[in-house]
Amino acid sequence: MPQEPSFIHDLNEQQQRAVRHTDGPLLIVAGAGSGKTRVLTYRIAYLIQQQKADPNEILALTFTNKAAKEMQERIQQLIGDEARRLWMGTFHSVFSKILRFEADKIGFTSNYSIYDTEDSKNAIKQLLKENNYDPKEIRPRTIQRLISDAKNELIHPDHYQEKFVHSTLDDITAKIYRLYVERLKHNNAMDFDDLLVKPIELFGEHDDVLEKYQDRFKYILIDEYQDTNHAQYKVTNLLANKYKNLCVVGDDAQSIYSFRGADIRNILDFKNDYEGAVEIPLEQNYRSTKAILKAADSIIKRNDSQLDKTLWTDNDMGDTITVLDNYDERDEANRVANYIKELKARKGYGYNDFAVLYRTNYQSRVYEETFRRKGVPYQLVGGLSFYQRKEIKDILAYLTLLINPDDDTNLIRIINEPSRGIGNKSLNDLLAQSRAQNKSLWRILENVDQIDLYKPAENSVKKFVSMIDELKRDLDNGKRLIDVTKKLLDKSGYMKSLVEENSPKAMSRRENILELQNAISYFEKNNNSPSLSSFLQEISLITDTDKYDEDKPAVTMMTVHAAKGLEFPGVFVVGLEEELFPVGSRNNEDVNIEEERRLFYVAITRAEEVLFFSHCRSRYKYGEEQRKKRSRFLDEVSPDVVRTETGASIKQSNNNFQENKKDTKTTNNNTTVEYDWKQPLYQKKNRSSNNTQIHYDNPDEDPFQVGAKVEHNIFGPGKI
């Protein structure tokens, strides 16, 4: 065996033990910031350096593709370019790749389409209509969620009926579920859940294929194991069954995806499932100040069901956590922006050192407006991703059709987009034929002569078919993807219709399509064998989180869910109000308070040095101003690490809120500082024209006290 690498000394003793324990099942349950992800990273480098496995015999599963990429880069730094050959990524991306190789064994082709949530909802809507259910009454989204839950629990449509039929909704779901599975198969399409469920089917039915992949992945590692669902558990259980070299890391206190079927039992049962499993704790937190850890600990210990864990840090006590007590959401965003500017000036932080974390995506809107107005650069993570935009999905639907013409859902999407005279009536006639003849819609279009269709529509269909056929031939003849795409944009009339529309919206759609062309060119240049099917499958799994760039000089705005695994020197957890964080109940469903609390724990533990909480006393909802109560979580935080600052607008806004305010003082037994942002006691200071720029608004502290971090335009950040 080669000598141990020197990089092992970048780790503490517990971490080293975890890395050295290479063979057999290994479980690491440890608190936030204790180096779980770091251990996985080093463990992979160690396995390769110690020649335990070839890089392509190691499979590492992460929660986002971005996390995988970062891990890979780090491993590359440790052991060199070999790291490129590792199998790393999300469950979805890794298994979609495996399915591309093996699809024919389960009745699909390697060109299968991947349906995102919208496509799958469209397919369900279509099925509801065909079966005479009114999608306004039976919401496709509801059926979709029930089907998705069933899939992740590995409940087959045949068994759904036995298991669940108690109500009409169950009945309908059972029926639509079966039809949906059939329809997807006809369409040669898989939804996100299938990317996990189909491999299990594949491995279950083909021992030889299972064994091939068991031998391929001699070592398997999984990050964020607390958020795996049953299907993910099952598929890795199958793969690890031969060599049992499975290492999972996670934190039960950070389990925040139970609404997507994440099952904490996967952690709890690990030692039962894997005989001889070794458990190694990690107890030192390297990320956060003592104050931040204390706040986090005081929150999480309120939950009944947590595993016992120790977490301590050698880091400084750090700053007290500030609670911003605001009048409304504009006030809140203003004060957050002011604080970011001030901290940047006073302590030498960059904009990218900060994150604003909220419970729900819509909260970003006021922040975007305010930050833009105040000149605070930001990057928004989440919301609609580029590939979910209508025009992008349209073009991708066309491209999909070229390799997977039996995909009805994508064909329906663009058959009359842009409008080419194949209206609803004609489409319904065509669909009826497709069902009657049990052929895909495309096969019906190809033989449109044989059916009785409104003549002008028939001619349009013929033109459409010959256009698609021509593009298919181009593709088969090896024409470049980008050229085929350009021709498609031209021949389909898609670009022309946007030019003719000539509205600002159409302009921005055109720009997005041009950006898509860039993505295609880039893909073609950077891949050895760029196929349309691998392009389409890859991009359908890109999420917005994957795009987040920590080096961009901008404040990050994201939901707490999206912030999992990340860390920032400064964090603002905003909107800490009842019925927002913890979230309010929708459709009278019970809110899982323990999960909301874990979510708050995740938010707190993203912070390294500076942490703010904030809440508003009033907030607009459905166009109405509503009173808000501060979140119960604020009262659960250990009082000796927080102080409250009441905003100026509250004082100004007469006595309306006096009662609330008193409440603040008494329930939160800590210092209350009242401060008026609008009339700073100190004017903005500009020390010299091209040196240190200090925007100083806070009267409480001297910016140039010894030890303060400052930023110098030429010398960069420094300490006084």
Taking CB under 6 A as the criterion, the residue among 18, 27, 38, 198 binding ligand ATP is 38
Distance, in Å, from the CA atom of 97 to the CA atom of 548, rounded to the nearest integer, reads 24
Distance, in Å, from the CA atom of 389 to the CA atom of 536, rounded to the nearest integer, reads 15
| 223 carries an active-site annotation | yes
Are the C-beta atoms of residues 49 and 2 closer than 8 Å to each other?
yes
The DSSP output letter for 589 is: P
CB of 364 to ligand ATP, least distance (A): 22
Are the C-beta atoms of residues 343 and 319 closer than 8 Å to each other?
no
* 492 Cα distance to chain centroid: 33
Q: Which of 194, 223, 391, 577 is catalytic?
A: 223
Residues numbered 561 to 620 that lie near Mg ion (CB under 5 A) are: 565
| Helix, strand, coil abundance in the chain, percent, nearest 5 | 50, 15, 35
Residue 36 as a binder of ligand ATP (CB under 6 A): the answer is yes
**Total residues in contact with Mg ion, by rule CB under 5 A:** 3
Interacting span for ligand ATP (CB under 6 A) from 7-15, 271-279, 340-348, 572-580:
7-15
Residue number with the shortest CB distance to Mg ion? 37
Q: How far is CA 403 from CA 142, 180, 476, 602, in A?
A: 31, 21, 10, 43
445/602 with CB nearer Mg ion: 602
222/541 with CB nearer Mg ion: 222
Residue 35 as a binder of Mg ion (CB under 5 A): the answer is no
Contact partner, 287, from ligand ATP, Mg ion, none, Cβ < 5-8 Å per class: ligand ATP
Residue 250 as a binder of Mg ion (CB under 5 A): the answer is no
36 is in an annotated binding site: yes
Pairing between β-strand 672-675 and β-strand 693-694 as defined by DSSP bridges: unpaired
* 520 Cα distance to chain centroid: 23
| 719 carries an active-site annotation | no
Are the C-beta atoms of residues 46 and 83 closer than 8 Å to each other?
no
Peptide bond into 582 cis (omega under 30): yes
Q: Which two tokens stand for residue 665?
A: 């003082």
Residue 313 as a binder of ligand ATP (CB under 6 A): the answer is no
Give 19-69 as a DSSP string: HH--SS-EEEE--TTSSHHHHHHHHHHHHHHTTSS-GGGEEEE-SSHHHHH
34 is in an annotated binding site: yes
Contact partner, 546, from Mg ion, ligand ATP, none, Cβ < 5-8 Å per class: none
Taking CB under 6 A as the criterion, the residue among 35, 89, 261, 382 binding ligand ATP is 35
Burial class (CB in 10 A: 0-12, 13-18, 19+), 242: middle
Place of tokens 């690498």: 5
Q: Tally Cβ neighbours within 10 Å of residue 686.
A: 12
Place of tokens 């898509």: 516
Q: What is the 3-state secondary structure (H, E, C) of 489-514?
A: HHHCCHHHHHHHHCCHHHHHHHHHHH
Residues numbered 553 to 592 that lie near ligand ATP (CB under 6 A) are: 565, 567
Taking CB under 6 A as the criterion, the residue among 19, 26, 37, 229 binding ligand ATP is 37
Q: Which of 57, 70, 194, 224 is catalytic?
A: 224
Residue 287 as a binder of ligand ATP (CB under 6 A): the answer is yes
Residue 25 as a binder of Mg ion (CB under 5 A): the answer is no
524/567 with CB nearer ligand ATP: 567
Contact partner, 577, from ligand ATP, Mg ion, none, Cβ < 5-8 Å per class: none
| 462 carries an active-site annotation | no
Taking CB under 6 A as the criterion, the residue among 286, 386, 454, 704 binding ligand ATP is 286
Distance, in Å, from the CA atom of 402 to the CA atom of 415, rounded to the nearest integer, reads 13
Interacting span for ligand ATP (CB under 6 A) from 30-38, 90-98, 238-246, 677-685:
30-38
Distance, in Å, from the CA atom of 704 to the CA atom of 711, rounded to the nearest integer, reads 11
36/183 with CB nearer Mg ion: 36
CB of 10 to Mg ion, least distance (A): 16
Residue number with the shortest CB distance to ligand ATP? 35
The DSSP output letter for 193 is: T
664 is in an annotated binding site: no
Contact partner, 532, from ligand ATP, Mg ion, none, Cβ < 5-8 Å per class: none
Residues numbered 593 to 632 that lie near ligand ATP (CB under 6 A) are: 605
Residues numbered 42 to 101 that lie near ligand ATP (CB under 6 A) are: none
Distance, in Å, from the CA atom of 124 to the CA atom of 545, rounded to the nearest integer, reads 27
36/393 with CB nearer Mg ion: 36
Residue 34 as a binder of ligand ATP (CB under 6 A): the answer is yes
37 is in an annotated binding site: yes
| 388 carries an active-site annotation | no
* Binding site residues, ligand ATP, CB under 6 A: 11-12, 15, 30, 32-38, 251, 254, 286-287, 565, 567, 605
Name the binding residues.
30-37
* Binding site residues, Mg ion, CB under 5 A: 36-37, 565
What are the residue numbers of the active site?
Answer: 36-37, 223-224, 254, 606
Name the binding residues for ATP.
30-37
